[in-house]
Amino acid sequence: MTLILDPDPAVPVVSAQLWVETGSLHEGAILGSGVSHFLEHMVFKGGGEFGADELATVVQAAGGHWNAYTTFDRTVYYIDGPASGLETFLKVLAAMVFAPAIPEEEFEKEKDVIRREIDMGLDDPDDVASRLMFSTAFAADPRRHPVIGHRALFDAIRYEDLTGYHRSRYTPDRCCLCIAGDFDAEVMRESIQALFGKFARGTGAEPVVPQDGVQLGPRRGRASFAVPASRISLAWKIPPLGHPDVPAYDLAAAVLGRGRSARLYRRLREERELALEISAWSWSQAGRDGLFAVSAEVEPEKRDELVGAILRELADFPSSVLDDELAKARRQIAASQFKTLTSVSGRATDLASNWHEARDLDFTRRYLAALNATTAADVRRAMARLTEDQLTLTTLDPEDAPPSASLRPNVRQRPEPECVTLPNGAVIALLPDHRVPVFAAQVAVRAGLVSEIPENAGLNTLLASTLPQGTIRRSAAELAGLLESHGATLGAASGNNALLAQLSGLSPDLSTLLPLFSEVLAEPAFHGDSIQREKASQMASLRESLEDPLSTAFRLARHHLFDGSGYGLPSLGSEESLTKLDRFALSAHHSRHFQGSNLVLALAGDFDPGHAREVLAEGIGRLPEGTPWIPPAVATTGDFEIEAFLPKKQAVLTLAYPGCSALAPERFALRMIQEWCSDMAGPLFTRIREDLGLAYQVGATQFHGHDTGFFGFYMATDPSQVDLAQRELSSEIAKIAEQGIPEEAFERVRATVLSSLAIGMQSPASIARLSAIDVLFGLGVTHHRELAGIFQALTPGEVKAAAGSLLGSTPVVVRVLPREATH
């Protein structure tokens, strides 16, 4: 077994990842069955000294956050959590991966769970479009099969197939254990030898894995789906990782389709308005052909014109001037890589991936060097090979649409945060951290969903998407080009209680980027063409959400719980309200809310506080002081039962209760209840999913409001079992209302919450976001650092009281059922 250790005492957090070099490529005689993914599920049923329920409780008690995933060529098990839990995490990984129980009595029950997961994928247009593209591009290569498997082949898996696959593939010589974070390497080597050294090497025999031959002509695939817009993909085979042309394709993909200033986005979405969304990407694996692709969403009537326009752009690409755009692409890729390395989980993934793909822990650095050495001539030569004869074109159309016509940081001491109030009332929170040369600025503005009425629903979402689309001084293309030439990202989003805008970039560029951010906030242009494009994209998202069972369930639950106003409005708006929104509405909303007295900006990362104060005072200080915006009072109603019907395979159930405010003392107890209800060791998962096999997806979610929030339970189940599922869910909720969290589980839940807090405070972007929202609600700039102590002081009695208060009312119940279902 390969062992990779990356000790770093900067934060008391670790990530332990066990990579098994087996995936859907390696399924041999039962290729396409999804047995690799099935085995990933089954090893969580206990192993070694741990029983079926003990794995989850032990991990939770140690504060661990665990999960796994299966891809074409790997299965990865990982646990992130506090450094104090590392020994426990390794014991669990050793037991579940190399000595799993794989109980036969759980075999058929877990099969039913995965069948629901397969159904969920077949209900997801992105999943369906991806399957269509891979199955068309690859003819013999096993990647033509979905990792989760085809339903018929999955149904045919026998218990002996599963256990035999484990014996042959889950062997130490096919595994890499990577640990990053706060630990002693010498001590850890001894522990790992004791835990893993007893497992036997495998036979070394490998299944025959076919590869595609040379593609001799274009390939096309088409399917229809309940979507409002077509999804198209144009893909070409490219060489495996390690070929000198691979960096050229990565750079070309960034030039063509990475960001708002990318060629395809700028020319085909912004200027010609052919695409609703468009991007380009390059994907390579070691030893196997990869793909270079352009993916887009487009209105069906513009689909064929867009395909032609994309092909012309690619045909013209080799003869175009590239030097400036390649420099920007290199900066973008470097910035993205640096951001990945800000967390222990990201560093562990980077190292393990390097070993898995290249057997070279330094492969990331070598690859970035190869990118820097790739010339414009190299890119032109590589792109000239992407001819129409080698094209794979796939289209997922609406059901009524006609067919187509044809890197690692240095650890330094972090200075203490500080808050500054500008003369115009804006509050600036500064949180320096010099470990990685990046920064993030987060603005929080009092507005959000609660500031809307039914007639202008969707206004905040549209304002957020339009805000970065140019300023009075610069066009959208100029703004995007300037940002992306510095490897920076700027975006905005709308929440329940606030409008949020975030900028991130490399620290040497702070003096250039922060004034640009202030310009976007103070002087947005709201160009009519930008508004129309973003409205079209938002309308497409709205229509798609109306066809999604879980989105529909939550939309109806919120609507009835909040009596159709405030938090009860759909964040994307309605077709009627979205149609009416215009430049005047956006400008008026911006003028009312983007005022100093309504705004907090938090800056986190690598910067000089004195210099940052000067730059922000000059930029954010230009906003008018204004008057504080006071959110309206929220009224709630209950005792509703609603049914809705969609042409889907799954049923979704939600139960919604009035939650608490953002400053309510019980919010910490409710966080514990949410974790208890969402965790794999909690009552909903163990009773409804594991014991009864009623649901693939079950859990709880919440948000806090200015005065009243939302707390909801949800589950996805088989339509024939929805009545039983609702009774069982209601029964478990009643137990929680009466008993709270049992004392034997309380410390496990607390450990998970505390671990989640620590993991969520690693990157500058997350720190800036937490601080901006806290200060907006009147809390201190270091409130996020106080949370661990608050949760440590919570008692089971306090949580029980909060549970009883929360769940004492009659909820709003929503059932979303397949249209053909009868009850």
In angstroms, rounded to a whole number, what is the distance separating the alpha carbons of residues 470 and 458?
20
Residue 434, phi then psi, degrees to nearest 5: -95, 15
Give the pLDDT mean for 676-694.
89
Q: What confidence tens digit (pLDDT) does each residue in 190-243 have? A: 999 999 999 999 987 889 899 998 998 999 999 999 989 999 999 999 999 999
The rounded distance, in Å, linking the Cα atoms of 651 and 665 is 36
* Contact call for residues 84 and 12 (beta carbons, < 8 A): yes
Helix extents (H) in 149-198: 151-155, 159-169, 185-196
- Three-state DSSP string of 380-428: HHHHCCCCHHHCEEEEEEECCCCCCCCCCCCCCCCCCCEEEECCCCCEE
What is the phi/psi pair of residue 541, to 5°? -65, -40
CA distance 220 to 218: 7
Contact 282, 236 (CB under 8 A): no
The answer to whether 14 and 180 are in contact (CB under 8 A) is yes
First to last CA, the chain: 54
Q: Which helix (H) or strand (E) holds 658?
A: strand 651-658
Half-sphere exposure of 481 (CA within 13 A, CB side): 11
pLDDT for the residue numbered 416: 87
DSSP 497-536: SEEEEEEEEEGGGHHHHHHHHHHHHH-B---HHHHHHHHH
Mean pLDDT of 346-360: 96
Quick one: pLDDT band at residue 542, thresholds 50, 70, 90? very high
Q: Which residues contact 146 (CB under 8 A, 6 or more apart)?
A: 24, 34, 121, 131, 134
DSSP 273: -
pLDDT single digits (tens) 444-478:
999 999 999 999 999 999 999 999 999 999 999 99
State residue 33 phi and psi, 5-degree precision: -85, -20
Q: Residue 504 region, left (φ>0) first, then alpha (ψ -120 to 50), else beta? A: beta
What pLDDT does residue 338 have? 85
Average pLDDT in the chain: 93
User: In the chain, pLDDT over 70 holds for what percent of residues?
Assistant: 98
| Cα(96)–Cα(89) distance, integer angstroms | 11
- Counted residue by residue, the chain has a size of 823
Instruction: Please check whether residue 781 is in contact with residue 418, taking contact to mean a CB–CB distance below 8 angstroms.
Output: yes
Could you tell me what percent of the chain has a pLDDT over 90? 89
CA atoms of 405 and 162, how far apart (whole Å): 45
**pLDDT above 60: residue 822:** no
- The predicted pLDDT at position 406 comes to 60
Confidence of residue 533 (pLDDT cuts 50, 70, 90): very high
What does the block give as tokens for 612?
């940052």
Q: How far apart are CA 609 and CA 514, in angstroms?
A: 13
> For residue 411, is pLDDT > 50?
no
796 in Cβ contact with 740 (< 8 Å): yes
**Cβ contacts of residue 51 below 8 Å, gap of 6+?**
101
Residue 355 binned pLDDT confidence (cut-offs 50, 70, 90): very high
| pLDDT classification of 407: cutoffs 50, 70, 90 | very low
Q: Helices 667-678 & 796-806, crossing angle to 10 degrees?
A: 80
pLDDT of residue 820: 66
Per residue in 605-660, pLDDT tens? Answer: 999 999 999 999 999 999 999 999 999 998 898 888 999 999 998 999 999 999 99
Across 738-748, average pLDDT:
94
Alpha helices in 197-239 (DSSP H): none
Question: Strand, coil or helix: what is 16?
Answer: strand
Which pLDDT belongs to residue 405? 67
**Residue range 300-316: mean pLDDT, rounded:** 95
Rounded to 5 degrees, φ, ψ at 523 are: -130, 50
Q: Are 601 and 441 in contact (CB under 8 A)?
A: yes
Domains of the chain: 2-196 (3.30.830.10), 219-398 (3.30.830.10), 418-622 (3.30.830.10), 641-818 (3.30.830.10)
The phi-psi region of residue 470 (left if phi > 0; otherwise alpha if psi is between -120 and 50; otherwise beta) is left
| 440 token code pair | 């993030």
Q: What's the rounded mean pLDDT across residues 107-122? A: 93
Q: Are 627 and 595 in contact (CB under 8 A)?
A: yes
Going by C-beta distance under 8 Å and a sequence separation of 6 or more, which residues neighbour residue 679?
56, 60, 685, 749, 752
Mean pLDDT within 555-575: 95
How far, in Å, CA of 539 to CA of 576, rounded? 10
Mean pLDDT of 738-752: 94
Cα 53 from Cα 690, distance rounded (Å): 10
- In our burial notation (b when 16+ CB lie closer than 10 A, e otherwise), range 782-818 reads ebbeebeeebeebebebbbebbeebbeeebbbbbbbb
Helical spans, DSSP H, in 620-721 = 667-678, 683
The residue type at 533: R
Mean per-residue pLDDT for 48-56? 87
pLDDT at 823 over 50: no
Q: Does the structure show a pLDDT above 80 at 410?
A: no
